[in-house]
Structure 1
Amino acid sequence: MIDSDYEERLSSAEDKETVARRSVQEIMEERFNKPEYNNWHKFNRHYGEPKKKFRKDDEAEDKSDAMDSFPDNSDEETWEKQAEYEYVCEIIRKALKEKQAELLIAIVMDGVSVTDYAKREGVSVSAISHRMETAIKNFKKVFPKSSTFPSSQG
């Protein structure tokens, strides 16, 4: 291995007197360890401790847990859920008449009980149940199969 490395470097060198034999460790470092480390470092250099905020020398050392360096995505999740809700409501409103759509949205999506909805509308519970059956039947005519994908994925 040492001889083949020496011969290879000797044939490619311009100044043949400067080429010296290397140890096995030096050959292994150049051929295997250094390129592997460089590839690893290229992809993993940003992992590790979060960057600490700039501190002047006269300020006390920051003893925080650095959690303020990480983004808070809870608002985004809420916005995504709200957008999903609005999208589904829009589909229902386009597919059904106004009263049927509002009935379906209130009971199925918002979780309002049939009794509470009947009181709010000033009609009997059985009337709301019949309207609900009609609304579901009309909705199934437009959308006969349910999708397993969220609306954001089509």
Structure 2
Amino acid sequence: MKIRIMYDNKPTYLEVPDEDFTLMIDMDYEDRLSCAEDKETVSRRSPQEIMDERFNKPEYNNWHKLDRHSATTTPPKKLNGKRGYTKATDDNEGKNIKENTIELYPDNTDEVTREKQEEYEYLCEIIRKTLKEKQAELLIAIFLDGVSVTEYAEREGVSKSAISHRIDTAKKNFKKVFPESSTFPSCHG
């Protein structure tokens, strides 16, 4: 059986054996049957009807929403793979043009930075409550701040192996309180 798949308002035909559609037809029928108020009106649909409803129609609607004015104006350019244009008027001619507006895409780098800072502070608080001050500062510096063992050893005026032993001890003490790692991010508490 040939199935028509629409992409960018252009059809592509795919030849698929009829027996490959039986599961899709059964699943579609069961889904629609479970949602229907009058179950007697629900019937099995053809694979093409299912494809049109679930894929082709939404694809066309998305294409049409973005490209419906391309016949009368110049085709929109893409910005980083996304369309980011609004209508504006040209002061000289007064006709509709499309203008690149990056303002349509919100800048949430501050929010991401703030969330990372909150996560960092939360982890530091847990480590400081769990361990002695020197062990807590050691783990924070090495694992959260990214300080190398060599650099930390030089800062403390001891050997690298001494710092490695202190890390192992701090890890063991921390694992006594938190024996397993959580599957939830720390922001869930």
How high is the TM-score relative to the length of structure 2? Answer: 0.49
Partner residue of 1:115 out of 125, 141, 150: 150
Deviation digits for residues 99-139 of structure 1, max 9, x if unmatched? 10000011111221111100001111121111111110110
Question: Which amino acid in structure 2 is aligned with residue 85 of structure 1?
Answer: Y
1:85/1:59 Cα in 2 relative to 1: closer, same or farther (>3 Å)?
farther
Name stretches of at least 5 consecutive residues in structure 2 with no aligned partner: 1-60, 67-83
1:51/1:92 Cα in 2 relative to 1: closer, same or farther (>3 Å)?
same
Whether the 8 Å contact between 2:86 and 2:101 is mirrored in structure 1 is: yes
Question: Which amino acid in structure 2 is aligned with residue 77 of structure 1?
Answer: V
SS of the aligned residue for 1:147 comes to: coil
Deviation digits for residues 34-60 of structure 1, max 9, x if unmatched? xxxxxxxxxx9xxx57795887x7897
Name stretches of at least 5 consecutive residues in structure 1 with no aligned partner: 1-43
Alignment partners' CA distance in 2, 1:51 and 1:123: 60
Alignment partners' CA distance in 2, 1:119 and 1:59: 70
Alignment partners' CA distance in 1, 2:136 and 2:87: 52
- Name the residue aligned to 1:153: 188
Alignment partners' CA distance in 1, 2:93 and 2:139: 60
Tell me: higher relative CO, structure 1 or 2? Use CA pairs within 8 A at least 6 residues apart: 1
1:59/1:149 Cα in 2 relative to 1: closer, same or farther (>3 Å)?
farther
Q: Displacement, 1:140?
A: 0.4
- Name the residue aligned to 2:79: none
Alignment partners' CA distance in 1, 2:170 and 2:181: 16
Alignment partners' CA distance in 2, 1:68 and 1:102: 42
Q: Percent identity?
A: 67
Question: Which amino acid in structure 2 is aligned with residue 94 of structure 1?
Answer: K
Partner residue of 1:86 out of 94, 110, 121: 121
Q: State the structure with more CA Rg.
A: 1
CA RMSD of aligned residues (A): 2.7
Whether the 8 Å contact between 2:119 and 2:187 is mirrored in structure 1 is: yes
Alignment partners' CA distance in 2, 1:59 and 1:111: 58
Question: Is the helix fraction higher in 1 or 2?
Answer: 1
- Name the residue aligned to 1:142: 177
How many pairs does the alignment contain? 108
Alignment partners' CA distance in 2, 1:53 and 1:106: 52
Q: Displacement, 1:70?
A: 2.6
How high is the TM-score relative to the length of structure 1? Answer: 0.59
- Name the residue aligned to 1:10: none
Runs of 4+ in 1 over 6 A off after TM superposition: 57-62
